[in-house]
A and B are shown apart, each in its own frame.
Chain A
Amino acid sequence: MPDRLFLDIVDPWINWSWLSTHVPTILAALQEHLTLTLVALVGGLAISLPLGVAAHRWTTLRLPSLTTFGIFYTIPSISLFALLIPYTGLGAVTAEIPLIGYNVLILLRNILVGLDSVPPDVLDAADGMGYRPLARLIRIELPLALPAIFAGLRVATVSTIGIVTITAVIGLGGLGQLILKGLIESFHTPLVVATVLSIALALVADRGLAGVQRLAVPWSRES
Chain B
Amino acid sequence: MNRIRASVWLIAALAALATVATACGGTTTPGTTSKDTITVAGFNFPESSILAELYGQALAHDGYTVNYKLLLGTREVLAPAIKSGQIDLYPGYAATDLEYYNSGAGEATGDATATTAKLNSHLSSIGLIALTPSAAVDQNAFAVTKATQTKYTLSKLSDLAPIGNQLVLGAGPECPTRPFCQPGLKTTYGITFKDFKALDTDGPLTRAAFKNGTIQVGLVFSSDADLNQLGLVVLQDDKHLENADNVVPIARQAVATPEVTSVLNKVDAGLTTADLVTMNGQVELLHQDADAVAAAYLQQHNFFS
Contact = CB atoms under 8 A, between A and B. Distances in A.
Interface SS majority for chain A = helix
Interface in A1-16: 1, 3-7, 9, 15
B28 A71 contact: no
A86 B76 CA distance: 12
A187 interface: yes
B11 to A, nearest CB: 10
Contact of B287 (A15, A71, A86, A168): A15
A201 B72 CA distance: 25
B230 A6 contact: yes
B39 to A, nearest CB: 8
A63 B9 contact: yes
B66 to A, nearest CB: 14
Given A170-B77, A177-B71, A184-B46, A68 B86 contact: no
B143 to A, nearest CB: 12
B113 interface: no
A131 interface: no
Contacts of B285: 9
Contacts of B211: 5-6
Contacts of A184: 44-46, 71
A82 B84 CA distance: 12
A1 B197 CA distance: 30
Contact of A71 (B13, B24, B81): B13
B234 to A, nearest CB: 15
A208 interface: no
Interface string A74-99: 00000001111111111000000100
Contacts of A177: 71
A181 B71 contact: yes
Interface SS majority for chain B = helix
Contacts of A64: 9, 12-13, 16
B25 A87 contact: yes
A171 B69 contact: yes
Contacts of B157: none
A170 B21 contact: no
B145 A87 contact: no
Nearest to B43: A184
A3 B207 CA distance: 15
A4 B287 contact: no
Contacts of B87: 90
A18 B289 CA distance: 10
A89 B70 CA distance: 15
A220 interface: no
Contacts of B159: none
B71 A168 contact: yes
A90 B46 contact: no
Interface in B13-43: 13-14, 16-17, 21, 24-25, 28, 30, 41
Given A63-B6, A68-B13, A184-B45, 11 more contacts: A3-B231, A4-B231, A6-B211, A18-B287, A71-B13, A81-B77, A87-B28, A169-B72, A169-B73, A171-B70, A181-B71
25 contacts: A3-B146, A3-B147, A4-B229, A5-B145, A5-B231, A6-B207, A6-B211, A6-B230, A7-B229, A15-B287, A68-B13, A68-B17, A71-B17, A82-B80, A84-B24, A87-B21, A87-B24, A89-B84, A90-B72, A90-B81, A171-B41, A185-B46, A186-B284, A187-B284, A187-B287
Across the A-B interface, give the 10 residue pairs with the lowest CB-CB distance, nearest first.
A5-B231, A87-B25, A68-B13, A86-B84, A67-B13, A3-B231, A171-B69, A6-B211, A89-B86, A169-B73
